[in-house]
Chains A and B, each alone.
Chain A
Amino acid sequence: MNLLEVRNLSVAYGDVAVVRDVSFTLAAGRSLGIVGESGSGKTQTMLAVLRLLARGGRVTSGSVLFEGRDLLTLSPGEMRQVRGRGLAFVPQDALSALNPAMTVGAQMAEPLIFNEGMGEEAALARCTELLGQVGIPGAAARLAAYPHQLSGGMRQRVLIAMAIAAHPKLLIADEPTTALDVTIQDQILRLLDRLRRELDMALVLISHDLGVVAGVADRVSIMYAGRIVESASAAEVFGRPAHPYARALMAAKPRLDRPAGALQPIAGLPPDPAHPLQGCAFHPRCAFAIERCGADTPPLEAVAADHLAACWRAREQLAAATTASMRVADAEQPAGEIVVEDLSVRFPIRSGILRRATGTVRAVEGVSFAIPMGKTVALVGESGSGKTTTGRALLGLAPMSNGRVSYFGRDVAAIRQDMPRLGQMVFQDPYGSLNPRMTVGATLAEVVSVHGLVPRGQIGRKVDSLLDSVGLRPAMARRHPHELSGGQRQRVAIARALAIEPRFIVCDEVVSALDVSIQGQIINLLMELQRTRGLTYLFISHDLAMVRHIAHHVVVMYGGKVMEAGPRDRLFAEPRHPYTHALLGAVPVPDPEVERKRTRPEVRGETPDPADPPPGCRFHRSCRHADERCRREEPLPEAVAAGHTVACHRWQELAQGLNHA
C-alpha cells in the first residue's frame, strides 16, 4: 500500500488556482523530489497535504490519502494527531520558522510534553538525544539558546530534529537548504538522507534546485504553473527528460561537470497564476510548441515505462535530444587593471554604556589581487568570508584599515569624486535597491540628470537606450518596481549602473535571488555587455557553477582571507587548497548518476567568527588535513603556477591526494 496518495488535488487562493489536478503516490521509506520555480505550486501542494495552507487558501478538489485515510475529511482534532506523528514538516527559512521568543529547548520539548505525555525531564533528555542525532554537539547549551543565537545551519538542524521528534512516517522538507552556504547545504542534504534510511521514513524534498534533488530523491516530479509536467525515477528525469521544460531547466542551470559556455536561459517569464493560459502553460516559452499546445492542455500520461510527462510532443522529444551550444566571441581588450594590495577592513565592536570599542571584527585581512580591464574576476566564498566587504572597499564604500586599491595606477582615495563614473555596484536584492515610489524611467532619468551626462531634452531618449541595452522595452519606463518580475528588476538595476557608463561593475550576488530560468538570462546579459562595452566585473557569488560560466579569474576567500586564486580553468580543474576542493565538492550536480558517485570532501563545522579568528590558518578547524603547523602558523600565498597562488602549508604534499581522494 502507498503511504501517501494524492489524487487530483487542486488548490486555489480566492479565484486564483495555484495547484491544478496534481496526483502522485509515495511508498513508505521512499523519497520524492518536487522541483519547480517560484509560483509553480510545489510548496502549496505539500501545504495542502498538511492542511496548513495560508489564510485564504483552500482545496477545491481532490483527496489526500495517508495510510488509507483521507486527510481532507479529518476533523481538526484528528488532523492534529496525524501532524508530528504521521506527517512532519521541515520549513524553509529557519529563522522565521522558529519562535523568536522561546528557547530552542522549550520549543522542542513542547509537543513531547503536551502530545506525547512525557515528563519534563524525559522530554529534555529526548531533545538532547535528537540534537545529537542531527549532529549538534553540546546539546545542553543549545537547548538554552534562543533561535537568533544559532547559525543558519544549526537552526535548520534544530527544525529537522523537531520534525523527527515523534517518529513520523513521512518527512516533508520545503526548500530546507535555500538560505544556506553550499558546504552547509551539503551537510543538511546528507543528514536528511541518512535520517530517512536510519528511521525508515518517507521523504518529500521540495526544491527549486535540480542538483539538490538529484542526490537524495528516488523519484522526481517537476512542476510548472501548478501542474506536474513530468514524473519519473530520478535517473529517467535527469537522463532522458521528456518535457521541454525539464530539458530547458537543465540547460539553463550551469554545471560543474560540464564545459563552461554561454548558458541557455529559458526565454520569457513564468506565467502569472492570476491569468492562466489556454492549453499548455509552457507553450509561449517552448521551442517545440505546435498549434495544439495553445489550444488543449496535455494530460500527464506515460511516455515510457514508469515515466509520465504532460506534453503533446513528449514521445518525439524523448527520441531526439541534442541542443545546440553557442560560444561568445572574445571582447577587445582595454588596457590597465584594478589592483588591490594588502587590503584590510576592520570594524570596531562597540558595547557597554559608553559605546567603547571592545573588540574588532576583522572582515577582510591582507587581501591582494588584480582585475585586468575587460575581464571578470569572481570572488567566491561563503557568508562571512568577507567577499561583499572586499567588493564595497573596491568602490570606496567600506573603510579601509590598511592596504591600497588603485585604478590604472591611481589610488582610489585620490579619485573619490570620479568614483561613480569608474565603478558601480549591482546588488543581490533588486527590490530593496530600487525606490518603490519611483517609476523605472524616473529612477534612470535621475541618475542621468544628476551626473549631467546628456542635455536635458535628451534624457528620455537616453533612458530608452539604457532599457534597450538591458533587453527591456521602452514601455517599461512607466512601470513601478513592484510591477516588474525579479529578472526585470535586476535588469533595471543593471541599467542604472550602466547609466553613467562606468568601466567597472561590482556584481554582488546579482542572480542568487532569481529563478533558475531567469538567472541564465541575466548572466548572458552581463557577458553580452562585457563583450560589447569592454566592461570589467568583480563578480561576487557563492554559486561556483555560475562563477565558472562568467569568470576569467577566481579568488576564493574564507574567513576574510584569500585561500586560493588563479585562472578559472586551472582552479576548477586542479584546486590546490583543501577549502577550494571542499567547496567544489559540495556543489550538487543535477544528475543522479554523478551525484551518487561523487566523493564529497566534507567540511566540518562552520565559518570562524570574524571577531575572534583562530590562530594559524583560518581554515584549520574545518580542514581534514590540518596538522600542528596549520594551527600555529599562518600560511602565506605561494605560487603554484603562473597566476595561480595558494595559501596552504601542505599544498605540495596534498597535491596528489586532493584530486584523487
Chain B
Amino acid sequence: MIAFTVRRLFQTIPVVLGVTLVTFLLTQILPGDLADVLLGPTATEEARRQLRAAMGLDRSLVVQYGTYMWHLLHGDLGQSLVFAQPVGAVLANRLANTAVLAVAAIVISSVGGIAIGTWVALKPGSLRDHSLSTSVLFLNAMPPFWLGLILILVFGLELRWLPTSGMTSAIDGGGALDLAAHMVLPTLTLAAWSMAVITRMTRSALLDVIDGDFIRTARSRGLGEARIILRHALPNALPPIITVIGLQAGFLLSGAVLTETVFSWPGIGLALYQGIAARDLPFIQGGILLLALIFVVINFAVDALYAYVNPKIELQ
C-alpha cells in the first residue's frame, strides 16, 4: 500500500504543474490585462505601454510563466487590488473560515448520506425507499443558492431562530456558540446537495453488494443481520461511495462561492466573488490556484483511502 501511495503521489506532480499553467494562462485568456485594470478606461496608450513594460507584461509568454513560477515557488502570489494586501495573506486569513464550513458540510453529508442510503437499501421498493428516494431527488435538483435563500427566508426572517449573516472569523470571532449559530444555515445549504448524491450512491452500491454470494455465505453461517450489513456489505460498497465523496469536495469548493455570498460568510468563496466582480486578476489567479490544489490533495487522499478499503489494489 505504501508503494501505491508513493506512486500516486508522483502522479500528482504533472497535475499540479498543469494547474499552474492554466491559472497563468487565465490572465492571457481574459480580455484586457493587468495594466488595463490598474489604469482604468481613461488612461492613455502611452501610460499603458509604460506600465506593461514595468510589469514585464510585454515579454514572451514563456518568460512570463517562468517569472510567475519563480514567484510562486517563493510563496509570492502577487498583490491583491481589492483587498490592498498580498494575495497569499488574504487567502490564508480566510481559509479557516471556508474550511470550517466545508469540513462540517462534508461530515454531515457523508454521515447522513451513508446512514440514510443504508437504511433505504435494506428495504428496496418499500414505501420508505420510495418516499426518501423522491425527497433526495428533490434536494438534488435544488440549486444551493436558492436553497440558501429559502432557509434565510424561513429560519432567519420569519422564525428569527438563526442569524443569516454577520459572521466575523472562525478563529478569533465571537466564540464557539456564536460560530455554531452562524454555521447552521450555510452548512445545511452546502451539505444538502452532496448528501443527496451520497445517499443515492450508497443505496445503489449497497444494493449491488447485498445480493452477492459472500453475503449469502455470511447468512448461511448464522451471522446476525446488523453484523452482515455493517461488517460485510458496507465495507465492500465503500469504494464507489468514497469516490463520490471525493468528487463532492470539488462541488463544495464551487458551492462555497455561492453559499458564502448568500450568507456573507467571510471565506475564500466570498472573497473570490468580490475579486471577480472587481476584475482583481492576481487574486482570481491565486484563489483558483488554491482551490485547484485543494482539489488535487483531496483526490489523492481519496485514492489512498481506496487502497486501504480494497485490499486487491495493493497488488496492482
The residues of A that contact B124 with a CB separation of less than 8 Å are: 55
**Is A410 close to B, CB under 8 A?**
no
Contact of B214 among A81, A96, A114 (CB under 8 A): A96
The residues of A that contact B213 with a CB separation of less than 8 Å are: 91, 93, 96-97
Contact of B222 among A54, A80, A97, A159 (CB under 8 A): A80
Name A96-115 residues within 8 Å CB distance of B.
96-102, 110-111, 114-115
A82 to B220 Cα, complex, angstroms? 9
Which A-chain residue is minimally distant from B214 (CB atoms)?
Answer: A99
Whether B217 contacts A111 by the Cβ 8 Å rule is no
Query: How many residues belonging to A are interface residues under a CB distance threshold of 8 Å?
Result: 36
The residues of A that contact B216 with a CB separation of less than 8 Å are: 52, 89, 91, 97
Question: Which of B231, B309, B310: most chain A CB closer than 10 A?
Answer: B231
A50 to B217 Cα, complex, angstroms? 11
A84 to B213 Cα, complex, angstroms? 16
Whether B212 contacts A96 by the Cβ 8 Å rule is yes
**Is A493 close to B, CB under 8 A?**
no
Whether A111 contacts B222 by the Cβ 8 Å rule is yes
The smallest C-beta distance from B303 to any residue of chain A, in angstroms, reads: 15
**Is A9 close to B, CB under 8 A?**
no
The smallest C-beta distance from B139 to any residue of chain A, in angstroms, reads: 28
Contact of A162 among B6, B10, B217, B232 (CB under 8 A): B217
The smallest C-beta distance from A379 to any residue of chain B, in angstroms, reads: 29
The smallest C-beta distance from A174 to any residue of chain B, in angstroms, reads: 10
Q: A99-B236, A101-B309, A353-B7 are in contact. Are A91 and B217 (CB under 8 A)?
A: yes
Contact of B220 among A81, A89, A98, A101 (CB under 8 A): A89
Whether A115 contacts B312 by the Cβ 8 Å rule is no
A155-189 near B? 1/0 per residue, CB < 8 Å:
00001001101100000000000000000000000
The residues of B that contact A114 with a CB separation of less than 8 Å are: 223-224, 227
Query: How many residues belonging to B are interface residues under a CB distance threshold of 8 Å?
Result: 29
Q: A52-B216, A99-B232, A100-B236 are in contact. Are A84 and B222 (CB under 8 A)?
A: yes
Tell me the dominant secondary structure on chain A's binding face. Answer: loop
The smallest C-beta distance from A565 to any residue of chain B, in angstroms, reads: 36
A653 to B225 Cα, complex, angstroms? 61
Which A-chain residue is minimally distant from B233 (CB atoms)?
Answer: A99
The smallest C-beta distance from A268 to any residue of chain B, in angstroms, reads: 31
**Is A146 close to B, CB under 8 A?**
yes
The residues of A that contact B235 with a CB separation of less than 8 Å are: 101-102
Whether A97 contacts B214 by the Cβ 8 Å rule is yes
Whether A100 contacts B7 by the Cβ 8 Å rule is no
A61-102 near B? 1/0 per residue, CB < 8 Å:
000000000000000100011111101110101001111111
Whether B312 contacts A85 by the Cβ 8 Å rule is no
The residues of A that contact B224 with a CB separation of less than 8 Å are: 80, 114
The residues of A that contact B232 with a CB separation of less than 8 Å are: 99, 102
A101 to B224 Cα, complex, angstroms? 19
The smallest C-beta distance from A576 to any residue of chain B, in angstroms, reads: 40
The smallest C-beta distance from B308 to any residue of chain A, in angstroms, reads: 10
**Is A148 close to B, CB under 8 A?**
yes
The residues of B that contact A81 with a CB separation of less than 8 Å are: 222
The smallest C-beta distance from A98 to any residue of chain B, in angstroms, reads: 6
Whether B211 contacts A111 by the Cβ 8 Å rule is no
**Is B130 close to A, CB under 8 A?**
no
Whether A98 contacts B217 by the Cβ 8 Å rule is yes
Name B293-314 residues within 8 Å CB distance of A.
309-312
Whether A88 contacts B220 by the Cβ 8 Å rule is yes
Which B-chain residue is minimally distant from A97 (CB atoms)?
Answer: B213
B213-243 near A? 1/0 per residue, CB < 8 Å:
1101111111111010001100110000000
Whether A111 contacts B223 by the Cβ 8 Å rule is yes
Whether A101 contacts B310 by the Cβ 8 Å rule is yes
Whether B311 contacts A146 by the Cβ 8 Å rule is yes
The residues of A that contact B6 with a CB separation of less than 8 Å are: 353
The residues of B that contact A102 with a CB separation of less than 8 Å are: 231-232, 235
A163 to B217 Cα, complex, angstroms? 9
Q: A85-B222, A114-B224 are in contact. Are A159 and B312 (CB under 8 A)?
A: no
Q: A97-B213, A97-B214, A114-B227 are in contact. Are A84 and B309 (CB under 8 A)?
A: no
Q: A100-B312, A148-B312 are in contact. Are A89 and B217 (CB under 8 A)?
A: yes
The smallest C-beta distance from A596 to any residue of chain B, in angstroms, reads: 30
The residues of B that contact A80 with a CB separation of less than 8 Å are: 222-224
Can you list 12 A-B contacts with CB-CB less than 8 angstroms, sorted by A residue number?
Answer: A76-B225, A80-B224, A88-B220, A91-B217, A96-B212, A99-B218, A99-B236, A110-B223, A111-B221, A115-B221, A115-B223, A146-B311
Interface residues of A (CB under 8 A from B): 50, 52, 54-55, 76, 80-85, 87-89, 91, 93, 96-102, 110-111, 114-115, 146, 148, 159, 162-163, 165-166, 352-353
